[in-house]
Amino acid sequence: MEANYLRKISSLAILILLIVLSFFLLKPILLSIIFGILLAFIFSPIYDKFYNWTDMKNFSAFFMCLILIVLILIPFWFVTPILIDQSIKIYLTTQQMDFVSPLQTAFPSIFASPEFSAQIGAVIYSFVNDLGNYFVNAISNLIVNFPTLFLQTIVVFFIFFFVLRDKRGLINYLESISPFSKKIENELLKSSKGITISVLYGQVIVGIAQGIIAGIGFFLFGVSNAALLSILAVIAGIFPIIGTTIIWVPVAIYLLIAGNTFSAIGVMLFGILASSTDNFIRPLIVSRRTNLHSSIVLIGMVGGIFLFGIMGVILGPLILAYLLIILETFREKKQPSVFLPGTEKSK
């Protein structure tokens, strides 16, 4: 009996040790692994259709990798030099820009005091200067860390390929080591799939579409540094509540102050179109019953950025969502859920 107990303790200690060592081993590429899994989830419907047509797992997964290269790596290769050039130009321009005069022209009564105008100008200059430094440093780090990024990209494609090809086996394996009952497993799988679709498709994909629409307006109406502004619009579009408005509204105001009324109206029209796409695109790809509350998405994204960097935009909301799903599974109350519509227990 005592020998049996010691054997169990020893086995548990070895298991914990291996888990800890494995975590530190995978920590440098953990985000790449997660990113590969998320991309596999996004492309899974396309893979399934292609696999049903070809009946070849390896070829279908490899074809998805080629699509991923065309959609992500090739645009990234061509856009990066443009972003570097425009970021440097914006940084140099902001060093000599007069932020106070346009504001005094637009709002003469508010900026009548020279002291107040000088203080506001200093605050705006400091903010813009810090923002410019951030982008220049980010691009510099991108160039310096290119070998590391290249290895991480290989890991992403490796995970993407094998998760697509062997997803059924992976799901069965996870179910076999799950500590939950079969009923709870089914509820968790159903809810987590719906919420993951809600975050990835309903928030990220729709946000990217909104940013692209706003970016088209920037290019069509000759806005300076349109490529960089389009990237910022895409990033802002992913965030709920904030949206692309935070990018195109200041651009339109700047164009109005500068006297480019036609361009300002055009940017506003495309900005309004981008903001309104949420109302008819999201319902097409995401069931209303699986929408995650906007406050949870926003809090998860902000916290995720602090913890994981840019990948936290996706991981933060998903982590909070999965926690809420587990809590809802064990919740005995019949009232509708505030944060997860559609997950209330049936009577």
Residues 257-266, mean pLDDT to the nearest whole number: 85
By mean pLDDT, which of 48-57, 285-294, 300-309 is the weakest? 285-294
| Cα 259 from chain centre | 35
By mean pLDDT, which of 78-87, 181-190, 308-317, 328-337 is the weakest? 328-337
| Cα 184 from chain centre | 29
Most confident of 84-98, 144-158, 228-242, 328-342: 144-158
114 pLDDT above the threshold of 70: yes
Residue 111 included in any domain: yes
By mean pLDDT, which of 13-22, 48-57, 124-133 is the weakest? 124-133
Residue 247 included in any domain: no
Residues 254-261, mean pLDDT to the nearest whole number: 81
Residue 24 included in any domain: no
Residue 300 included in any domain: no
Burial 260-289 (b: 16+ CB within 10 A, else e): beebbebbbebbbebbebbeebbeeebeee
Instruction: Report the candidate in 198, 298, 203 with the shortest Cα–Cα distance to residue 242.
Output: 298
Residues 54-81, mean pLDDT to the nearest whole number: 85
Instruction: Give the rounded percent of residues in the chain with a pLDDT score beyond 90.
Output: 10
Question: What is the pLDDT, as a whole number, of residue 79?
Answer: 76
Question: What is the pLDDT, as a whole number, of residue 345?
Answer: 47
Residues 326-346, mean pLDDT to the nearest whole number: 59
347 pLDDT above the threshold of 50: no
**Full domain range(s) for residue 92:** 34-177
Burial 212-246 (b: 16+ CB within 10 A, else e): bbbbbbbeebebebbbbbbbbbbbbbbbbeebbbe
**Average pLDDT of every residue of the chain:** 79
292 pLDDT above the threshold of 70: no
Which of the two residues, 162 and 302, has the higher pLDDT score?
162
Residues 3-21, mean pLDDT to the nearest whole number: 85
Angle (nearest 5°) at CA 193 between 191 and 199: 100
Structure tokens at 13: 């200690």
Residue 172 included in any domain: yes
Which of the two residues, 267 and 293, has the higher pLDDT score?
267
Angle (nearest 5°) at CA 202 between 295 and 161: 120
Question: What is the pLDDT, as a whole number, of residue 170?
Answer: 85
Question: What is the pLDDT, as a whole number, of residue 268?
Answer: 92
By mean pLDDT, which of 57-71, 79-93, 248-262 is the weakest? 79-93
Question: What is the pLDDT, as a whole number, of residue 62?
Answer: 92
Question: What is the pLDDT, as a whole number, of residue 145?
Answer: 78
Q: How far is CA 128 from CA 88, 93, 113, 309, in A?
A: 13, 11, 22, 21
Residue 102 included in any domain: yes
Dihedral angle over CA of 276, 277, 281, 283, nearest 10: -10
Question: What is the pLDDT, as a whole number, of residue 335?
Answer: 52
Residue 329 included in any domain: no
Question: What is the pLDDT, as a whole number, of residue 186?
Answer: 73
Residue 311 included in any domain: no
- Counted domains in the chain: 1
